[in-house]
A and B are shown apart, each in its own frame.
Chain A
Amino acid sequence: EDKVVQSPLSLVVHEGDTVTLNCSYEVTNFRSLLWYKQEKKAPTFLFMLTSSGIEKKSGRLSSILDKKELFSILNITATQTGDSAVYLCAVPGGSQGNLIFGKGTKLSVKP
């Protein structure tokens, strides 16, 4: 069965800290891995990773994929209170190629 496991489930840090969020996956036919940020409402797309070892970067956020060990990490440097959110990891899988999500990591950044 295809699945995605994220850790930790929750994390509390102070502004300026650097955090690393983890995502491991098992999927029959790997195509990509996606990261989303969810605040109050809908998840917003952050990154899509398809190749091992190539870092995707957007401002203070970066992510990398390891297809051999079946995991990805999302790094956030110099965290700000606006980074507080649930971060979701997903892979296309299942019988229809639909996105399978992990339970998310709830990040709280204290001032």
Chain B
Amino acid sequence: SQTIHQWPATLVQPVGSPLSLECTVEGTSNPNLYWYRQAAGRGLQLLFYSVGIGQISSEVPQNLSASRPQDRQFILSSKKLLLSDSGFYLCAWSPGNTEAFFGQGTRLTVV
């Protein structure tokens, strides 16, 4: 069966520091991978989407970036965090344009 791992679960970072969140999927090949962000009281906002190694689509302009160095690895990064980057970050995978399955999420607080 497929599983998705996301870490860390919680993170407190100062403004201006870098960020790296990692997500890996097991039990499937060539998944579609997503990074979503959920701000307090709001729905999930798609940040990045990837259909394959090195293929990244960005939905929202921001100071974040994503990379997919391996088929089942998806990384969310920032060179300098802003206060507004605080939120709940979720990695997800799907076999196609159907249901998505989520990792446990990372609660990021920028102070």
B104 interface residue, CB < 8 Å from A? yes
- A interface residue count range (under 10 / 10 to 19 / 20 to 34 / 35 or more): 20 to 34
Please give the distance in Å from A7's CB to the nearest CB on chain B: 13
Q: Which one, B46, B59, B99, contacts A34 given CB within 8 A?
A: B99
Q: Is B44 an interface residue (CB 8 A)?
A: yes
Contact across chains for A101 and B43 when beta carbons are under 8 A apart: yes
User: Are B104 and A41 in contact, with the CB atoms below 8 A?
Assistant: yes
Q: Closest approach, in angstroms, between the C-beta of B2 and any C-beta of chain A?
A: 12
Please give me the residue from chain B that is nearest to A92 by CB atom: B97
| Chain A interfacial positions (CB closer than 8 Å to B) | 4, 31-32, 34, 41-45, 48, 88, 90, 92, 94-104
Sample of 17 further A-B pairs with CB below 8 A, known A31-B98, A96-B51, A103-B43: A31-B97, A44-B102, A48-B98, A88-B44, A90-B44, A92-B97, A94-B46, A96-B57, A97-B97, A98-B32, A98-B46, A98-B49, A98-B59, A99-B44, A99-B99, A99-B100, A100-B46
